[in-house]
Structure 1
Amino acid sequence: MDGLVTNISLIAGVGGGGVSPHSIVLTGVAGLVAGAISMGLGEYTSVRTQNEQVEHEVAKERRELERNPVAEAKELAEVWIKRGLPPELAHEVATALSHDVDQALRVHAQEELGIDPHDTPSPWVAAVSSFVCFSAGALVPLLPYLFGSHALWLALVAGAIGLFVAGALTARFTNRPWWSSGLRQFVLGIAAAGVTYGIGRAVGASVG
C-alpha cells in the first residue's frame, strides 16, 4: 500500500509538471528504489531496536529473579490474584515457579511485560518483506510506461486499480466488506495523487 500511494502520487506530481515520459519513468524507478530501501532499513532498525529493548528488559528481570526470588514470586502472585486467582493458590504456584529461573523468567516476562522472550520477530525478515512489498506496490503505476505507453492517465488508472485491489484484499483481515475497503483505499490514494498532481501543475507552470 505504501509503495502504491507513494509512487502514484510521485508520478502524478511530476506528470502534472509536464515532464517527458522518460523523466516520469526515471522518477518512478528512483522513487521505487529509494522508497523500498528506506522502508527496508527503517523496518530493520525498528524491529532490531524493539528486540534490543526486549532483551534489556528480560535481562533486567533475570537479575531481579536471581537477586530476590521471594519478592518476585510475591509480585507475580499479586498479578494473578488481581485477575481472580485464589491468593493461596497464586502464592503456591508463584513460589514453585521461582525454583526454575528460566521458567520463572518466561512467565514474568509474559505476565509483567506482555512479551515472550523466546518469540521475537526477525529484523531481516521484516526488512526484506517491507522492501519486496513496497517495490511491488510502487511498480504498479509504472507498468503502462514499461510496456511502451506514454500516457499519464494510463499510469494513474493502473495505480487506481492497484489501490482498490490492495484495499479489497485487506478486508480478509477485517469485518468490512471487500468493496468498502477497496473503495476507501482508492479514495485516499487518488486524493493524495490529486494533491501532488495539482502541486506539480502549479510548480511546472511557475517554472515554465
Structure 2
Amino acid sequence: MAAIDSVQHRKYTAGLQTEVDAAFLYDRIAAAEEVPAIAGMFRELGAIEREHAIKMQEKLARDGVAITLPPPSWRARVLDRIGRILGYGYVIGVMMDTEKSISAAQLSQKEKSHIPISGDEANHVKILQTLLNNKSKVSGEHISRIEGKHRSIGGNALRAAVLGANDGLVSNMSLVMGVAGATDAGSGVLLAGMAGLLAGALSMALGEWISVKSSQELYERQMALEMLEIETNPEGEMRELALIYIAKGIPEAQARQMAATAIQDTEHAHEILVKEELGINTEELKGSAWEAAIASFLLFAVGAILPVIPFFYASGYQAIFQSLAFSTAGLFLIGAAITLFTGKSVWYSGFRQVLFGLAAAAVTYGIGKLIGVSLSG
C-alpha cells in the first residue's frame, strides 16, 4: 500500500481538525440550547462530525499514518467564547455556512473523480434543514427562534465588525500615505488622517442608519398592508394561506382546514402571512438604527486611527515607517479574524490582507509623491 505524500497528509490533518472543531461547537451549542428537541438535533450533528473524524483517522491509519484526534483549535475555542458572550446564534450562522461549503466541496470532488455519491456527504446540512423546516418534529415557535438566530447572522454583526475595521484601516492608511508622499510626511498628514477618519466614520454611520431605518419602514408598511388585506378580504387571505401550506407538502384538505383555523385569529394569521408570504423576519424590526450607526462609526474609527497614531508624536520617514508598522499589525489581525468565518490558515489570510493593504498604500504614496514633486516643481 502506497503511503500518502505530505500534501495529502496536510489535507487529511486539516480535514480532521475541521471535523473535531465542528463536533466541539455543536456540543457547545446543544449545551446552551434551552429547547430539548433543538438541543438533541445539535447533539446529533456533533455525533455525525465525530463519526467523520474517526473514519478519517482510520483512513490515515490504513495508509500508514498514525495520528491522534486533535483537541479543538483556537478558532473553535474563540467561536465558543463569542457564543458564550454574544449568544450562539452567531456561531450557528458560521457553522451553517461552513457545513454547506464542505458538503458542496465533497460532492464536487466526488463528481470530478467519478466516485459514487453515498448520500452521507450532506447529512449535517440535512439535519439543520430538518431543524428549520420540519414542523412535525419541532414547533413553529422554536423554528422561528432558530430562523431568527440564523437570519440575524446574515447581516452578522461580528463579520460587520471585522469588515468595518478593515474599511477604516485600508482607506485611511491609503489617504495618509498619499498625503505623506505629497508632503514628505509634514504636519498636514495628521490633519488629513483625522479628517479622513471622521469623514469615513460619519459616512459609514449615516449609511448604516439609512439602511436599517429604510428597511424597517419598508417592512412596517408591508406588514400594515398585509393586516389591511386580512381585515378587508379574509377569504382571499385564507386561500393564500392554504396555498402556502399546500406548497409545503401538506395535503390539500388538511391545508384548507389549517388555513380556515388560522384565519379565525387575525394576529396569528398576520404573523404567518408576514413570515411565509412576505419573507419578513420580525426580529429584524427590533434592531435600533442608532445602535447600528454608532457601532459602524466606532468600528470604522478603530481601524482608521491606527495609521494616524505615529503622526501625533513624530514626522518624516520615522512617522511613515511607524504608521506602516501599526497598519501592518492591524491588517494581519483583521486577516486572522476573518479566518473565524472562512476556516483558512491564519498565516495565509493574515499575510494576504497585509499584502493587499500595503499594495494600496504603496500606490497612493507613489501618486502622492508624483503630485508633490509636480507641485514643488
TM-score (norm 2): 0.52
Q: Which amino acid aligns with 1:188?
A: F
| Aligned residues of 1:172 and 1:178 also touching (Cα < 8 A) | no
Conserved 8 A contact 2:185-2:315? no
1:80 to 224, 245, 255: 245
* Contact persistence 1:167–1:185 (CA under 8 A): yes
SS in 2 for 1:164: helix
Counterpart residue type for residue 367 of structure 2: I
Cα 1:178/1:84, change in 2 over 3 Å: farther
Deviation at residue 10 of structure 1 after TM alignment: 0.5
CA distance in 1, matches of 2:335, 2:175: 20
1:55-204 maps to which residues of 2 (within 5 A)? 55-120=220-285, 121-148=287-314, 150=316, 151=318, 152-204=320-372
Q: Distance between the aligned counterparts of 2:277 and 2:299, measured in 1?
A: 34
Does the 8 Å CA contact 2:179/2:368 hold for their aligned counterparts? yes
**Cα 1:91–1:162, aligned 2, differ >3 Å: closer, same or farther?**
same
Cα distance in 1 for residues equivalent to 2:355 and 2:245: 47
Map Cα deviations across residues 174-200 of structure 1 (whole Å, 9 max, x no partner).
333333332332233222222212221
Which segment drifts farther, 96-105 or 173-182? 173-182
In the TM superposition, what is the alpha-carbon distance from 1:63 to its structure 2 partner? Answer: 0.9
Q: Specify the SS of the correspondent of 2:282.
A: coil
Q: Is the 8 A contact 1:8 1:141 kept in 2?
A: yes
Is contact 2:187–2:315 with CA below 8 Å preserved after alignment? no
Sort the Cα spacing of 1:183 and 1:163 in 2 relative to 1 into closer, same or farther, 3 A.
same
Matched, 1:3 2:168: yes
Match in the other structure for 1:42: 207
Instruction: Give 1:26's aligned amino acid.
Output: L
1:137 Cα shift? 0.6
Q: Which moved more, 1:128-137 or 1:105-114?
A: 105-114
Q: Partners in 2 of 1:178 and 1:207 — Cα distance?
A: 43
Structure 2 stretches lacking a partner, 5+ long: 1-165
Equivalent residue letter for 1:137? G
What's the Cα RMSD here? 1.8
Question: Which segments of 5 or more consecutive residues in structure 1 lack a partner in the other structure?
Answer: none
Offset of residue 118 of structure 1: 5.0
Q: Tell me which moved more, 31-40 or 85-94.
A: 85-94
| Residues 117/190 of structure 1: CA separation in 2 closer, same or farther (3 Å cut) | same
CA distance 1:205–1:124, shift in 2 (3 Å): same
Cα distance, 1:139 vs structure 2:
0.7
SS in 1 for 2:187: helix
Residue 95 of structure 1: CA displacement? Answer: 1.8
Shift of the alpha carbon at 1:21?
Answer: 3.3
Residue identity matched to 1:170:
I
- Structure with the bigger RCO (C-alpha within 8 Å, sep 6+) is 1
Structure 1 segments of 4+ aligned residues over 6 angstroms from their partners: none
Amino acid at match of 2:349: S
Q: CA deviation at 1:149?
A: 5.7
